[in-house]
Amino acid sequence: MALLVTQIRSAIGTKPKQRGTLRALGLGRIGRSNTLPDRPEIRGMIDRVPHLVSVEEVDG
């Protein structure tokens, strides 16, 4: 199982830690997506920026 994480909102005006989390997820601009493994560390990073990303579960 994998997660398709897509940035849906701008990081402008967010805290530096949240911008760093987006970077670590492989995102950086609106509309960019990244497929990541479904692991607790990744889930925790997504939980820090739920207002900036959308998440879908995919097989892969």
CATH of residue 23 = 3.30.1390.20
Residue 47 belongs to what domain range? 2-58
Helix, strand, coil fractions of the chain, as percent rounded to 5: 30, 30, 40
Q: What's the pLDDT score for residue 27? A: 97
Q: pLDDT per residue over 2-57, tens digit each?
A: 999 999 999 999 999 999 999 999 999 999 999 999 999 999 999 999 999 999 99
With 0.85 as the threshold, say if the pTM is over it. yes
Cα separation, 58 vs 28, in Å, equals 21
What is the per-residue pLDDT for 54?
Answer: 98
Query: How many angstroms separate the CA atoms of 29 and 41, rounded?
Result: 22
Domain count, the chain: 1
* Residue 2 confidence (pLDDT): 97
The length of the chain is: 60
List Cα–Cα distances, 6 to 15, 38, 41, in angstroms.
Answer: 19, 15, 17
- The pLDDT score that the predictor gives to residue 23 is 97
